[in-house]
């Protein structure tokens, strides 16, 4: 049996055409880390986020637009912003996961729960003082 790698997963299992460069970059970065390390776990959750965003963008880039400001939607439709200080905004990772569950019929509750758990750990690791992936075994983030 071949060992799991994110690069193999992206190139053989994910049917996104064209797969954005960023979604391809993270699996390569992830595979440079030791599989049992906290760095690998964090990188894999970032990879998972990029894949979720790429999947939404393959349906329509508008699905990634943060909808509190209409300019984000306009920008996602390809219109040039007229506001000089406009900075495009996108949805958060939890919203991306939520929106992805609608157009993706294979998104089981188990997959949704796994992604939610990983995104919560990623957010804790990046946005708080919590070391969310340190001390956890690799079975917490590796496929079963």
In a domain, 68, yes or no: yes
- For residues 118 and 48, the answer to whether their CB atoms sit within 8 Å is yes
In a domain, 141, yes or no: no
Q: What is the number of structural domains in the chain?
A: 1
| Residue-wise pLDDT tens digits, 31-79 | 777 777 788 888 888 888 888 888 888 788 888 899 899 999 998 888 9
Measured CA to CA, the distance from residue 75 to residue 65 in angstroms comes to 8
In a domain, 85, yes or no: yes
Task: Find the domain containing 27 and state its range.
Answer: 19-133
In a domain, 109, yes or no: yes
Measured CA to CA, the distance from residue 133 to residue 6 in angstroms comes to 18
In a domain, 7, yes or no: no
In a domain, 3, yes or no: no
Examine the pLDDT at 13 and tell me if it is beyond 60.
no
Q: Give the tokens for residue 120.
A: 């919560």
In a domain, 80, yes or no: yes
In a domain, 11, yes or no: no
**Per-residue model confidence (pLDDT) at position 5:** 53
| Residue-wise pLDDT tens digits, 105-131 | 777 788 788 888 888 998 998 899 889
Cα end-to-end span (Å), the chain: 14
């Amino acid at each position: 049996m071949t060992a799991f790698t994110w690069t193999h997963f992206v190139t053989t299992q994910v049917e996104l055409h064209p797969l954005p460069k960023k979604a391809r970059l993270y699996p390569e970065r992830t595979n440079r880390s030791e599989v049992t390390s906290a760095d690998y776990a964090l990188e894999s959750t970032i990879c998972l986020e990029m894949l979720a965003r790429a999947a939404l963008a393959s349906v329509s880039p508008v699905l990634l637009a943060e909808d509190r400001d209409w300019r984000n939607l306009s920008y996602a439709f390809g219109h040039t912003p007229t506001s000089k200080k406009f900075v495009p905004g996108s949805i958060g990772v939890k919203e991306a996961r939520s929106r992805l569950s609608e157009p993706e019929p294979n998104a089981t509750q188990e997959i949704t729960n796994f992604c939610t758990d990983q995104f919560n750990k990623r957010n804790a690791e990046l946005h708080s003082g919590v070391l969310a992936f340190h001390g956890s075994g690799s079975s917490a983030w590796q496929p079963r």
